[in-house]
Structure 1
């Protein structure tokens, strides 16, 4: 593990041997651990650069990159949300972290659902940012778009974000194809698995999100100990995801106070 600094704030980063690949992670701040899980086609920075310094004021932020994304190596296997969940569980074991909060965005939110389902003992609280659990949770056009997905249609900030950190720029096509294939083959998470989640859960979406408000509401109804927040804006705008950034971006418009309030709440 090495220590680096960004904007003069020190953080640790490293690689861990995880189920046949080298998984990249960063650790920022001190306190109770919260694990950040990015979305498809993304890196730690393209999803979470704006929120990491804010969360790290009060917590130990462990940010990871999943298979074939950013600095993490690929392996000869398709991406699955279940495998991502198991990989993150293995990483935390390697880091000697027995329990943590989790914040997953987009595909990372779906992975966070799988962590809560498959590794409940690891989980304190979960935050599901624009998470998909059912195929009907997005408009019909989404699936046609995914079936025709081409690298050149991938948002340029995400392509640039990958190239900035990846050891092999040619991996961009691999990442894109693995993400597209995973979405084309997406299967509904069974109701009984969702209803079995006991962890306190905060569900967040934008009112102009790709995820339908009805889907977020259904998740809220199915997870007994959950809260729902629908925030004005698009997919990831509430965390300052890179493709949503505008020239007049303000940190004060992010949902960190809402997240902190949820995490700090003492469960009865």
Structure 2
């Protein structure tokens, strides 16, 4: 029961020390410490300032966090692993973490447009995209709305249709409260943006998006042309049957069902084991997909 509550509570939101430069409306901070991003800063995108971090060198891989999360809560454990051979572009979406907000609800479409605008601002013409949970929905919307930007796409723990989760999930969503938001998310937000009003605003906007969740139309899903890998935990928010069905709609997509809960396979903070090891995470599976020359 505790596992279910943590998973559902997580899914309620799912589901400067160096030189400053300016380029393409982007303020950057260069950092020398190898444990920190090579660069971090803000970029003006569609009326808000979007925060992002860049790690490593190589082919660009965009990381898009889950609902209610920050870069750290979704990807903090796997960033050092991916950054060994890739340039990681890690973003925080509207109202999340250090990124600004606009007078509009959250939507996967707007998030996709914001990420696309950021990539244009930092002169990235094409990249692989990895999104987790709500960020996975955003990654697929980038493939739908901005196909020219996408090489390969990884949709991790996505939920694309209401019938893809058990009815109890939506019942929980309709009656969820701020008190049920995982404390790890609250702490992470306040660490980078110590404003309790903005935290509550982020929570409410995330909750509203899921309460009013609308299915991705089949026609949109079928229109995706980028190679796609869908990943799901066998005790995830979306059912395995849902992920299998979605994989059949996306032309030529590939599928991985991994033992564990919502994001345990990448070390997502609410499902992270205290005694975790790097070998617990499926970074090699994802990299094999990204490096495979077959499309």
Q: In which range does the TM-score fall when normalised by the shorter chain?
A: over 0.9
| Shift in Å, 1:253 | 1.1
User: Separation in 2 of the partners of 1:22 and 1:195?
Assistant: 32
User: Separation in 2 of the partners of 1:236 and 1:49?
Assistant: 12
SS of the residue aligned with 2:219? helix
Unaligned runs of 5+ in 2: 1-27
SS of the residue aligned with 2:31? strand
User: Separation in 2 of the partners of 1:246 and 1:267?
Assistant: 35
Q: Is the 8 A contact 1:107 1:131 kept in 2?
A: yes
User: Separation in 1 of the partners of 2:269 and 2:142?
Assistant: 25
User: Separation in 2 of the partners of 1:10 and 1:82?
Assistant: 28
Question: Which residue among 23, 32, 38 is the counterpart of 1:11?
Answer: 38
| Shift in Å, 1:170 | 2.1
Alignment match, 1:252: 279
User: Separation in 1 of the partners of 2:195 and 2:42?
Assistant: 16
- 1:75 and 2:97 are equivalent in the alignment: no
Q: Is the 8 A contact 1:151 1:176 kept in 2?
A: yes
SS of the residue aligned with 1:77? coil
SS of the residue aligned with 2:101? coil
Alignment match, 1:128: 155
Question: Which residue among 177, 190, 198 is the counterpart of 1:150?
Answer: 177
User: Separation in 2 of the partners of 1:6 and 1:211?
Assistant: 39
SS of the residue aligned with 2:245? helix
Alignment match, 2:240: 213
| Shift in Å, 1:4 | 3.2
Question: Which residue among 189, 205, 219 is the counterpart of 2:216?
Answer: 189
| Shift in Å, 1:3 | 2.4
| Shift in Å, 1:135 | 0.7
Alignment match, 2:118: 91
User: Separation in 2 of the partners of 1:142 and 1:85?
Assistant: 25
User: Separation in 2 of the partners of 1:163 and 1:6?
Assistant: 23
Alignment match, 2:82: 55
Alignment match, 2:4: none
SS of the residue aligned with 1:164? helix
User: Separation in 2 of the partners of 1:167 and 1:154?
Assistant: 17
| Shift in Å, 1:196 | 1.1
Alignment match, 2:199: 172
CA displacement 1:45-88 (0-9 Å, x = unmatched):
00000111100000000000000000001111100100000000
Q: Is the 8 A contact 1:71 1:167 kept in 2?
A: no
Alignment match, 2:62: 35
Question: Which residue among 92, 96, 101 is the counterpart of 2:128?
Answer: 101
| Shift in Å, 1:245 | 1.4
Q: Is the 8 A contact 1:79 1:182 kept in 2?
A: yes
- Aligned residue pairs total 268
Alignment match, 1:110: 137
User: Separation in 2 of the partners of 1:223 and 1:107?
Assistant: 18
Alignment match, 1:235: 262
| Shift in Å, 1:224 | 1.4
Measured on the aligned residues, the alpha-carbon RMSD in Å equals: 1.2
Unaligned runs of 5+ in 1: none
